[in-house]
Amino acid sequence: MTFLNQKYQNLTPYTPGEQVNEQEYIKLNTNESPYPPAPAVQKAVVEASHSLNRYSDIAVEVVAKPLAQYLGVKKEQLFLGNGSDEVLSYVFQGFTEKGIAFPDVTYGFYQVYSGLYQVDATVVPLKSDFSLELKDYDELSGTVIFANPNAPTGIQLAQGEICEFIERHPNRLVVVDEAYIDFGGESMVSLVDRYPNLLVVGTFSKSRQLAGARLGFGVGNEELIADMNRLRFSLNPYNVNSLTQAAGGAVLQEQEYVDQKIQETIQAREWSKLELTKLGFEQTDSQGNFLFAKHPNIAGETLFTALREKKILVRWFNQPRTKDFLRITVGTQEQMEQLVTALTTILEEVDA
Ligand SMILES: *Cc1c(COP(=O)(O)O)cnc(C)c1O
């Protein structure tokens, strides 16, 4: 027996990457930062904990002000959410009357939210090299959403192409999910003044060490943001809790630390790409904090399992187009060296 509404009974929920004991595993499966937040962030959270008897600030001022400044936008052009997942959820819930379209190989939550909000979703295949061709969306109607750089491929779309699409379709909302933009690619944020039909979505989870705090944002035209707030204030005005607000505010005062970790990640990524190529892997030229790689001699699932036995956790997606691949989060340089050592051993065993 179920009490769940009929319309939700066939939902396929999102499958998050495993969270495991980090003492035991090298965790390269959920694209988090391998580094802890800067000490000042931890301190700010402890301080904020003294006021947990009060509701959180609905304006999220401590984050909104420095974030608006950092991004070069007005506070009124900024929406803050409980992770960017929540921001995306509002997009699917409230801005999809004429449907929504997204690539076949992309962030899994787009499909999940389409199911949850029963949105008319069109899934558009990427090209055979996993590149995104926006012309493929010209004949459709309604909202378009894609990640840039895309996940799990890491492939980046040129800003000019996105601008041309937005200009060709002034009556369609274009949502660019920039979860990985700090690791490569050109942000669209500076263009929200020019395009009222552009929403850029960002997160503190990947490049700012705050995956567990749940803090994401949307940047867009003031009217668009006001509409999103209409939804937010109809569900949960206190969506960003006060500990997270303190953490987010503090992170924005530690930009030097954040930038340094981004540079370390990019260096480790490029080093790992070369090493994997030497081992015979085929890869996309990922601009994210992850690699997307397959080996001609060994199935993705086999490799995933073999790594798991060696206590290295990566992500394997059991989907027709991606089942040969692994998505490997870029950890510290040391972790990536351990990964390469493990892969070398596994491949030697296959050859033997
Ligand atoms: C990780 C990720 C998100 C979600 O990030 P949160 O802010 O942690 O909810 C959104 N989009 C893409 C493409 C991601 O990879």
Atom index in ligand 1 nearest the CA of residue 211 equals 8
Pair (151, 107) in one structural domain:
yes
DSSP 288: S
Instruction: Look at residue 194 and tell me if it is in a domain.
Output: yes
Q: Ligand 1: distance of its center to the CA of 149 in Å? A: 12
Residue 24 domain flag? yes
Q: Is residue 207 assigned to a domain?
A: yes
The reply to whether 113 falls in a domain is yes
Query: Does residue 209 sit in the same domain as residue 280?
Result: no
Domain boundary among 218, 234, 251: 251
Pair (132, 157) in one structural domain: yes
Last residue of one domain, picked from the residues 251, 271, 288:
251
Cβ of 284 closer than 6 Å to ligand 1, yes or no, is no
Long-range residue pairs from 132-138, CB within 8 A, at least 24 positions apart, any chain: 132/103, 132/157, 134/161, 134/162, 134/164, 134/165, 137/101, 137/165, 138/165, 138/168, 138/169
How much is the pLDDT for 17?
Answer: 82
- The count of structural domains within the chain is 2
Pocket of ligand 1, candidates 206, 287, 330: which has the most ligand atoms within 8 Å of its Cβ, to mutate? 206
Q: Sign of the CA dihedral 181, 325, 116, 170? A: positive
SS3 83: helix
Q: Does 215 map to a domain?
A: yes
CATH of the domain at 204: 3.40.640.10
CA of 85 relative to ligand 1 center, distance in Å: 6
How far apart, in whole angstroms, are the C-alpha atoms of residue 112 and residue 8? 12
Q: Can you tell me the distance from the alpha carbon of 183 to that of 203, in angstroms, rounded to the nearest whole number?
A: 13
Report phi then psi at 67, rounded to 5.
-70, -40
Q: 32 C-alpha to center of ligand 1: Å?
A: 10
Cα end-to-end distance, the chain, whole Å: 53
Residue 8 lies in a domain: no
Q: Are residues 239 and 345 in the same domain?
A: no
User: In terms of domains, do 171 and 305 share one?
Assistant: no
Domain assignment present for residue 339? The answer is yes
AA letter at 290:
F
Task: Please tell me whether residue 99 adopts helix, strand or coil conformation.
Answer: coil
Task: Supply the pLDDT for residue 351.
Answer: 81
pLDDT tens, N- to C-terminus, the chain (352 residues): 899 999 999 999 998 888 888 789 999 999 999 999 999 999 999 999 999 999 999 999 999 999 999 999 999 999 999 999 999 999 999 999 999 999 999 999 999 999 999 999 999 999 999 999 999 999 999 999 999 999 999 999 999 999 999 999 999 999 999 999 999 989 999 999 999 999 999 999 999 999 999 999 999 999 999 999 999 999 999 999 999 999 999 999 999 999 999 999 999 999 999 999 999 999 999 999 999 999 999 999 999 999 999 999 999 999 999 999 999 999 999 999 999 999 999 999 988 7
Same domain flag for 167 and 125: yes
Q: Is 83 in the pocket of ligand 1 (CB under 6 A)?
A: yes
What is the best residue among 67, 177, 182, 215 to mutate for testing ligand 1's pocket, by most ligand atoms within 8 Å of CB? Answer: 177
Q: Ligand 1: does its nearest atom lie under 6 Å from the Cβ of 84?
A: yes
120, part of any domain:
yes
Single-letter amino acid code for the residue at 7: K
Ligand 1 pocket, residue 151 CB under 6 Å: yes
- Ligand 1 atom with the smallest distance to the CA of 81 is 7
Q: Separation of 20 CA from ligand 1 center, angstroms?
A: 19
* Ligand 1 site, residue 85, Cβ cutoff 6 A: yes
Kindly give the number of the ligand 1 atom that is closest to the alpha carbon of 206.
1
End residue of a domain, out of 251, 267, 290: 251
Whether the model clears a pTM of 0.85, i.e. scores above it, the answer is yes
Examine the domain organization and report whether 175 and 273 are in the same domain: no
Torsion on CA atoms 187, 115, 321, 98, rounded to nearest 10: -60
Is any ligand 1 atom within 6 A of the Cβ of residue 147? yes
Distance between CA atoms of 133 and 26, rounded to whole angstroms? 35
Cα-to-centroid distance, 74 and ligand 1 (Å)? 23
> Nearest residue CA, atom 11 of ligand 1?
179
Longest dimension (CA), the chain: 64
Which parts of 95-132 fold into alpha helices (H)? 109-116
Q: Is the domain of 145 the same as that of 265?
A: no
Same domain? 274 vs 224:
no
Domain identity same for 124 and 70: yes
| Length in residues, the chain | 352
Domain span at residue 125? 39-251
- Is 190 in the same domain as 173? yes
Within this chain, do residues 29 and 47 fall inside the same structural domain, yes or no? Answer: no
